[in-house]
Structure 1
Amino acid sequence: MSDYKIFSLGDIVLQCGLRIPDAKLAYKTYGTLNAAKNNVIVYPTWYSGQHYENEWLIGEDKALDPRKYFIIVPNMFCNGLSSSPSNTPAPYGKARFPNATAYDNVRMQWRLVTELFGIEQIALVTGWSMGALQTFHWGALYPEMVERILPFQGTSKCSRHNFVFLEGVKAALTADAAFRDGWYDVQPEKGLRAAARVYAGWGLSQTFYREKLDLEKLGYATLEDFLVGFWEGWLLSKDANNLLGMLWTWQNGDISDNEIYKGDFVKALSSIRAKAIVMPCKTDLYFPPEDSEFEVKHMPNAELRVVDSIWGHFAGGPGTSPVDIEVLDKALRELLAS
């Protein structure tokens, strides 16, 4: 039995101008919605992640305490549970699945929150990596609804450098002859393994590797063991078209790319009224603190807190550094109490 539910969206039209017929949004909730409907936390998923992979921050001993809050974890399009290339029937499945933006995702999450639960106020939106991208979108698209945001290890717009990194991942994956332009019958294993190797040089910092934390903290026998067990093991569990769909969403992330802000990035940032703590990691190779400094400069009620860690993009992420997770949890507690 699945541990999540499906919200039927009907036929939806995306920003790209294409439809997802009979679109589905998979979600899971934790805790109970109170009578006032003011104890709501929205916690979107990250690149390739599904709702259960967000649970490292949810618990009775955590800031995201289901005894106190009603926590909604919506699954992104293309993650294999919500409408995705892997689960959409022809003619819109596989390589024909339309490109969905973060804007598209958050608009449909808003429908879930308002239509299904009748929620009008959200106490907090938070998320890691692509979850942070969606968090910024929530703040910019629904400024009167969202009271607080805490995006960590992610930005409100994909930088040019980040875009280039993702081109390497895409090229490695699609170079496998078995990929067949997305019309494969068997997952392109060589391409997935190659993409994982590209990722491995970026997900964690130079100092992480210099100090051999893959061996000392994560328990791998050698560097090669880490590359195979951690990185290749991660991507081999995913569908290639799903990964490419989410990669496109990531590359085209921009809170101002919509009819509301018409490309005015500063205006979009300035519209975020929510009390915000923005938490990059000083060694994150995807989302360096300089990007967050610009964002916070233009957000009226935001504070920048740079995480001092050598875990790079995974600082505070799932299954990594307990110390960094404690730092993140403390910030979430503080923001929720404010």
Structure 2
Amino acid sequence: MTKPIIYLQRTFREEFIDKIHTIAPEYQIKTELTNADLSVVEISVGWSKQFGESLLASDNLKWVQSISAGVDYLPLKDFSDRNILLSNGSGIHALSISEHIIGVLLGYYRGLNEAVKKQEQEAWAQDSIHYDQLSGKNLLVVGTGHIGQQLSKSIHSLGVNVYGINTTGHPAEGFVETYSIKNMAKIVPEMDIVVGILPGTPATYHIFNSDIFDKMKKTAVFINVGRGDTVHTKELTLALEQKSIAFAALDVFEEEPLPKEKPLWKFDNVLITPHISGMTVDFQNKFMKIFLANLKSYVADKELSVNQVELKRGY
């Protein structure tokens, strides 16, 4: 009888392959698939567009472990219709993204962004550099999951007051107060900084739009490290052009790479980074903690113990 396959879309270190063999000795482990293999894959670590349709056509695919935290690019309805389990990499990138956000804020408030530009011009422009104090600012985290909680923890020592937005307004560790997402427009006028860390779902599509930007302080900073389509790009562009908000730092976009003709590239009040906030040191070790824990529970009772995604909600 052919052993079912655990398909690894990317290569992992030998130490982790050995651990997978120990936990699941009845499975084959493959990083490349033949046509004959496709109907035998039971577990897919990562998702391959090349093999996706064939894997879904098989009755044997039972579980997909996403390498990323966001899963909006996956065929969630197909997974739901076929009762395929899905887990994500939520939590892996929390520290990296938190440090990215703090770096962005210090760069803006301490005038470092402007100093870099002046250095390129060989200009000693001490009197024209914008500066402010991060301590004492009110920061609204829209999305109080792993990343939001890590950001709250990391930035607390800098004297920032951190508030949160989530689906229901339920309490979350590390936040002064949390509010329901339906009340976001009422909260943003009091905030100096708004950080988007939302997944891409029908409910979050273009949730950051002119209604939100028009209610923010003219001195406010907007940062997005969630999904690009949570932001209405044209309406954000207009808000920045009209100086309705002071500054935006954008790591994700509705269209990536961001097309060269987009005006955001040329705005002085925008920092663009190429979807790098989640780049994480020792990624394999952090990811495997999630996958191996799930593999143990899956082998034992066909259930997942960590980061199972609710397919209808999309996170």
TM range (shorter): under 0.3
Q: Taking structure 2 as the reference length, what is the TM-score of the superposition? A: 0.25
TM-score, normalization by structure 1: 0.24
More helix by share: 1
